[in-house]
Amino acid sequence: MIQLFIAVSPYKYLEHIDLDHYISISKEIDLLLLRVPMSRDSLCHSIEYLMDHGFPKNKLMIHSDTSLLELYDLSFIHFRENDAQAFLYKQNHAHISVSMSTHSSESIQQAQLHHLDFVFFGHIFESTSKEGYVPRTAEEIKRATSIDIPIFAIGGIDQHSLQFLPKGFQGICAISFFRDSSIKEIDSLRKVWNAYV
């Protein structure tokens, strides 16, 4: 199953107000990647809070920590670019969806070679989280999207920039947009996405 909208948590300690927001938009997103600088105990508390308050377990994605993935019997895990642990984990756990961040077509080819399920590729547009970094070029995007693996755009995605997204992506990921947007705004983004596909 290809996911469409992936919310990525901001890299910070998640408070209940943050978690409540993701719970409120849970029907509008396909996955929530928890990528945070929190202790294991604090992250466990956040995962349990989300699930206890109705966030679907099958929409939770863990970053790198395979023991947490297994503790909560989750199905999605994401890794940094070229992390050998991702390749090994996928080899030994074919039933788990393993994805990876990428910034080059070479990294995407490695992910494909190791049978990962999908990759994030970016950043596509200027982004506050990548301030000062130049977005991927049109040629880089064309090379990336020619590789036979589902690719999700990340970086500066919102309902305005999405109108200019080059063809070839299977979905989108965003930190700021999903963190700051209402259900109505996400619905508006989905309409733009439906026109894209």
* Torsion-angle region of 32 (φ positive above 0: left; ψ -120 to 50: alpha; else: beta): beta
For residue 154, the cross-strand partners are: 122, 173
Listed by start position, the domains of the chain span: 5-196
- Return the pLDDT at 48: 98
- State yes or no: pLDDT of 2 exceeds 90: no
pLDDT, mean of residues 148-162:
95
pLDDT, mean of residues 144-152:
97
- Return the pLDDT at 3: 64
pLDDT, mean of residues 151-158:
96
How far apart (Å, rounded) are the C-alpha atoms in residues 58 and 164?
31
- The CATH topology of domain 5-196 is TIM Barrel (3.20.20)
Q: How many residues in total does the chain contain?
A: 197
How far apart (Å, rounded) are the C-alpha atoms in residues 152 and 134?
18
How far apart (Å, rounded) are the C-alpha atoms in residues 193 and 187?
10
Indicate the pLDDT class of residue 70, thresholds 50, 70 and 90.
very high
Q: Where are the beta strands (DSSP E) in the chain?
A: 5-8, 31-34, 60-63, 76-79, 97-102, 118-122, 151-154, 171-174
pLDDT, mean of residues 172-178:
96
Indicate the pLDDT class of residue 1, thresholds 50, 70 and 90.
very low
Cβ proximity of 4 and 151 under 8 Å: no
Q: Which helix (H) or strand (E) holds 44?
A: helix 40-52
pLDDT, mean of residues 60-77:
98
Taking only the tens place, the pLDDT of each residue in 76-133 is: 999 999 999 999 999 999 999 999 999 999 999 999 999 999 999 999 998 777 677 7
pLDDT, mean of residues 138-167:
95
How far apart (Å, rounded) are the C-alpha atoms in residues 119 and 103?
10
pLDDT, mean of residues 55-74:
98
Mean residue pLDDT across the chain? 95
In order of 34, 36, 40, 129, 182, the CA distances from 64 in angstroms are 10, 11, 12, 20, 29
- Return the pLDDT at 91: 98
How far apart (Å, rounded) are the C-alpha atoms in residues 85 and 80?
10
* Least confident range of 12-16, 129-133, 178-182: 129-133
Instruction: Please give the span between the terminal C-alpha atoms of the chain, in angstroms, as a whole number.
Output: 16
